[in-house]
C-alpha cells in the first residue's frame, strides 16, 4: 500500500478519517476520542473497511468467463487496491472517484466510474457508493461494503455482552463459505438468530463468515443493550455477511449486492448470482449509514 495522507472530516460529534487508497474508512471516533473501528491488528486482519468492486467474494479459480474470453480477478475485485481521486474535501464531507484505466480494462473490460461519498451529520456517518456506466455496453458488476467495527465497542462492556438486533426476525437458514476455495457452499445451515437477536460469540466464525443471501432486514444494531451501540442501515443491498477471525477485536458487518461464486460455478459472468447490470449512461447507488449510540 502506498503512503497516502488520510483525509479527515468532522461533525463536532464524530470524526472520520478516510484513506484515498481504496476510499477506505480507517477511523470513526466520537468527541471523547473513542474509536469505533477496528484496531487492524495484523495478527488477525489488517483491513479497515475495503470497498468490494466489481465483485464480492471469490471467483471459481479467481477467473471468470465473459463472451467466451477468460479474465482474472482477485477476491473482492480491484477497488480496494486502487488509488481513488479526491473530488471533494469539505469540513463534514468527502468524495472520491475511481474510473476505468488501461490496467482495469485488462481484467474487467468495461468503462465505469465508482464514486464514494462520506458525510457526517451529528452522530451519523452516511456512506453512498454510486456506480456509473460510462461506456456503450451493459455493465455487469457487484458491490459490497466490508467495514470492521471495534468488538468490544468503547464504553467498558465485554465482548460477550454484545449482540446484533435485526430490524426484523431472521429465521431463514444462513449460507457458509468453503474455506479452501472461498466459494459459496450449496448447503444451508440453521440460523443462529433467535427472533431478532444474534448472540455473538467467536465460535460462530470458526467456519468463516455467516451469509444471509435474502435477509428481511435492511437495518440492525450492534453493541451492548444499555451501552454503546451502532445503528446500521443498508437500504440498497439485498445480502449481508458478518465475519471476523475468531479472537480478533473487530466484527465486520457487510452489506452486499452479490457474493462469491457458488462451488462449481462455471457460467458466464453476466449469469453469476448477485450480478446486476447497468444500461449505458445509467447509475446505481448503495447507501450505508452508521449511527453511534452511546449510553452517556
> 105-120 pLDDT, tens per residue?
999 999 999 999 999 9
The answer to the question of residue 2 being in a domain is no
- Interior/surface letters 53-74, b for 16+ CB within 10 angstroms, e for the rest: bbbbbbbbeeebbeeeeeeebe
Residue 69 in grid coordinates: 474470453
Q: What is the CATH number of the domain that holds 150?
A: 2.70.98.10
Mean pLDDT (whole number) for 68-77: 97
pTM over 0.85: yes
Residue 2's CB: how many other CB atoms inside 10 A? 6
**Per-residue pLDDT band at 1 (split at 50, 70, 90):** low
Domain extent, residue 151, equals 7-293
> 47-60 pLDDT, tens per residue?
999 999 999 999 99
The answer to the question of residue 248 being in a domain is yes
pLDDT score at 156: 86
The answer to the question of residue 125 being in a domain is yes
Mean pLDDT (whole number) for 218-239: 97
The answer to the question of residue 212 being in a domain is yes
Q: Are 38 and 52 in contact (CB under 8 A)?
A: no
The answer to the question of residue 211 being in a domain is yes
- Rounded Cα gap, residues 1 and 50, in angstroms: 13
Number of domains, the chain: 1
pLDDT score at 147: 98
**80 pLDDT exceeds 80?**
yes
Amino acid at each position: 500500500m502506498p503512503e497516502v495522507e488520510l483525509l479527515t472530516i468532522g461533525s463536532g460529534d464524530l470524526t472520520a478519517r478516510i484513506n484515498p487508497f481504496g476510499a477506505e474508512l480507517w477511523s470513526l471516533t466520537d468527541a471523547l476520542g473513542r474509536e469505533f473501528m477496528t484496531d487492524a491488528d495484523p495478527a488477525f486482519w489488517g483491513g479497515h473497511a475495503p470497498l468490494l468492486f466489481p465483485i464480492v467474494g471469490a471467483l471459481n479459480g479467481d477467473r471468470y468467463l465473459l463472451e467466451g474470453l477468460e479474465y482474472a480477478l482477485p477476491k473482492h475485485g480491484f477497488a480496494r487496491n486502487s488509488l481513488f481521486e479526491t473530488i471533494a474535501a469539505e469540513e463534514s464531507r468527502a468524495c472520491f472517484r475511481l474510473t476505468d484505466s488501461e490496467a482495469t480494462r485488462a481484467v474487467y473490460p468495461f468503462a465505469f466510474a465508482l464514486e464514494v461519498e462520506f458525510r457526517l451529520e451529528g452522530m451519523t456517518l452516511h456512506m453512498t457508493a454510486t456506480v456509473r456506466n460510462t461506456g456503450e455496453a451493459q455493465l455487469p458488476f457487484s458491490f459490497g461494503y466490508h467495514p470492521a467495527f471495534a468488538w468490544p465497542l468503547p464504553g467498558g462492556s465485554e465482548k460477550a455482552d454484545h449482540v446484533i438486533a435485526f430490524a426484523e426476525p431472521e429465521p431463514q437458514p444462513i449460507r457458509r463459505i468453503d474455506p479452501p476455495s472461498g466459494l459459496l457452499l450449496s448447503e444451508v445451515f440453521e440460523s443462529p438468530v433467535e427472533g431478532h437477536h444474534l448472540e455473538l460469540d467467536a465460535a460462530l466464525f470458526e467456519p468463516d463468515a455467516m451469509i444471509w443471501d435474502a435477509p428481511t432486514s435492511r437495518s440492525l444494531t450492534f453493541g451492548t443493550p444499555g451501552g454503546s451501540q451502532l445503528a446500521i442501515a443498508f437500504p440498497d443491498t439485498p445480502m449481508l455477511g458478518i465475519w471476523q477471525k475468531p479472537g480478533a477485536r473487530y466484527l465486520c458487518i457487510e452489506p452486499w449486492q452479490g457474493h462469491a461464486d457458488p462451488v462449481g460455478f462455471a457460467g458466464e459472468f453476466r449469469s453469476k448470482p448477485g450480478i446486476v447490470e447497468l444500461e449505458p449512461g445509467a447509475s446505481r447507488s448503495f447507501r450505508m449509514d452508521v449511527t453511534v449510540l452511546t449510553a452517556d
